[in-house]
């Protein structure tokens, strides 16, 4: 049962072949059997999930009209507030915090009767590409337990790849949905910025953060996308426009007559041979499906990484100032005679991890008097140039494509002490966030060198998210026909959920 797609599970629920309680319990049992190896979750809400599942079954029994994914279980990244449930953002500084409200994403999940199994592990405050920066220990890649599952949303992607959940929510600031999807053989989508509400998403970088859907198939991802998207007056950056027709696009999977642009600057040196090979093969399959493959140039992309690592830390420096030990979360050194400043300093020293401190310091420096224009101001100018590059490229192609990551999953600890090497994992994903457009990663096969998953990235213009679902579904169908079975059937670790 747990090896089915979310769409198949939904069909079985609708037909009465199974119940949400049965389905939820099957996934809870799976979590109990493999979680000691994977460590995808920070909190498993067994009681709450079963109660929610029973409520959905009762509604169905009464003949109430339910949403397409009603009763299907989901894993929630621990950066989204869920009322009265632990929300740590992978940090000690929020240990024990129980939000008094639901984020809009969680409210939409509940409105659609999607069962929340628990909260997934992540790099602290979403700062990282490996989930090694979590204060609660790393998550392991189900393909090879000695390797990273990506980051910052490695818990969500590992939960999918280990069949602990059929659906998951991630957030993407510079690739934190797409990079984990790439290295675990799953599907992840960063919607257009503003397409999914950020209300209740604990902020890292407010102009870049975006919640999005994760699953094992393009259609499942589209169904979840439709459930969580839409205008929200609580979020000033929310787009007041109809949700793109992503589900219909995923069902159609038609690329005939589409122009697919290969980004020259994201397909050069530095990519693992097996990554490049699978990317080229995917392009051939799309051409056979009727798409026209063209090359486009985006000359300012070479500055994207540098601009991102000024903009994101600057916004993080501002956003994380709220963790002052006075209002919520951890408090250290609160003794008679201790000043508020001393308590704040001690709490931040203990509560924040090394990577978070590094980015706060970098961002504070970039925003400081005398340096603002040279660093943060210049980075914003580069951001404008990158957005213009995308605008120009989309006059020549309907979507743009590239490998999602330069390499497959690396060993846990391999890059932990080399921040620059870690940052380079997101070299192909960061431009999407800087421009606020949509991005998807889906599996393109396994690298010859190590037998690990390779990701294929699709980028679409603002609020044209349906285009990447059309291309993704077409490629997925072509690859599935070639493979004969889903890629995850070949995952050696954990016996792929058998």
- What contacts 296, CB < 8 A, 6 or more positions away? 261, 262, 263, 264, 393, 396, 397, 400
- Active site includes 368? no
Give me 260's structure tokens. Answer: 């697919």
DSSP letter assigned to residue 374: I
Identify the CA nearest to 121 among candidates 215, 38, 241, 200.
38
The length of the chain, given as a count of residues:
498
Element (DSSP H or E) covering residue 400: strand 399-403
Cβ–Cβ under 8 Å, residues 165 and 69: no
Element (DSSP H or E) covering residue 169: strand 167-171
- Active site includes 77? yes
Catalytic residue among 12, 20, 67, 77: 77
Please give the C-alpha separations between residue 429 and each of 149, 190, 415, 443, 448, in angstroms, as whole numbers: 16, 10, 19, 15, 23
Catalytic residue among 91, 103, 129, 152: 152
- Strands of the sheet with 211-215, listed across from one edge: 41-44, 115-120, 73-77, 167-171, 211-215, 187-190, 438-446, 453-460, 399-403, 259-263, 292-296
Catalytic residue among 67, 129, 134, 176: 176
Number of H helices, E strands in the chain: 16, 11
- Active site includes 176? yes
Query: Which residues are designated catalytic?
Result: 77, 152, 176
């Amino acid at each position: 049962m747990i090896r089915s797609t979310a769409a198949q599970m939904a069909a079985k629920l609708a037909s009465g072949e199974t119940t949400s309680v049965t389905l939820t319990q099957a996934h809870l049992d799976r979590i109990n059997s493999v979680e000691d190896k994977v460590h995808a979750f920070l909190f498993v809400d067994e009681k709450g999930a079963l109660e929610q599942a029973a409520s959905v079954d009762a509604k169905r029994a009464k003949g109430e009209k339910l949403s397409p994914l009603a009763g299907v279980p989901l894993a929630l990244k621990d950066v989204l507030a869920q009322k009265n449930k632990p929300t740590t953002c992978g940090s000690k500084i929020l240990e024990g915090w129980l939000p008094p409200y639901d984020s809009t994403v969680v409210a939409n999940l509940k409105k659609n009767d999607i069962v929340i199994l628990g909260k997934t592990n992540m790099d602290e405050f979403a700062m990282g590409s490996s989930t090694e920066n979590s204060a609660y220990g790393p998550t392991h890649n189900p393909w090879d337990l000695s390797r990273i599952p990506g980051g910052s949303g490695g818990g969500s992607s590992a939960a999918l790849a280990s069949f602990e959940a059929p659906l998951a929510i991630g957030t993407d600031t510079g690739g934190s949905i797409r990079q984990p999807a790439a290295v675990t053989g799953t599907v992840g989508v960063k919607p257009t910025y503003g397409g999914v509400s950020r209300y209740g998403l604990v902020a890292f970088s407010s102009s870049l953060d975006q919640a999005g859907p994760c699953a094992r198939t393009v259609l499942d991802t589209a169904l979840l996308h439709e459930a969580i998207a839409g205008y929200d007056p609580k979020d000033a950056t929310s787009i007041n426009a109809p949700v793109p027709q992503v589900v219909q696009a995923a069902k159609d999977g038609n690329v005939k007559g589409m122009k697919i642009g290969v980004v020259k600057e994201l397909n050069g040196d530095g990519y693992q041979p097996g990554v490049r090979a699978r990317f080229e093969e995917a392009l051939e399959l799309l051409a056979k499906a009727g798409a026209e493959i063209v090359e486009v140039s985006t000359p300012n992309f070479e500055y994207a990484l540098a601009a991102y690592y000024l903009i994101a830390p600057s916004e993080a420096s501002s956003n994380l100032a709220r963790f002052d030990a006075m209002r919520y979360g951890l408090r250290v050194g609160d003794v008679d005679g201790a000043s508020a400043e001393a308590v704040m300093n001690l709490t931040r020293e203990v509560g924040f991890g090394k990577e978070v401190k590094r980015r706060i310091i970098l961002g504070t420096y970039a925003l400081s008097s005398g340096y603002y224009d040279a660093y943060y101001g210049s980075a914003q100018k580069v951001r404008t140039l990158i957005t213009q590059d995308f605008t120009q490229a989309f006059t020549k192609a309907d979507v743009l494509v590239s490998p999602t990551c330069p390499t497959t999953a690396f060993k846990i600890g391999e890059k932990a002490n080399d921040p620059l090497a870690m940052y380079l994992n997101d070299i192909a994903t960061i431009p999407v966030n800087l421009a606020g457009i949509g991005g998807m990663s889906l599996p393109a096969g396994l690298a010859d060198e190590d037998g690990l998953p390779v990701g294929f990235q699709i980028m679409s213009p603002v609020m044209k998210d349906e285009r990447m679902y059309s291309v993704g579904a077409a490629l997925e169908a072509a690859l599935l026909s070639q493979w004969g079975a889903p890629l995850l059937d070949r995952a050696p670790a954990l016996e792929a959920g058998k």
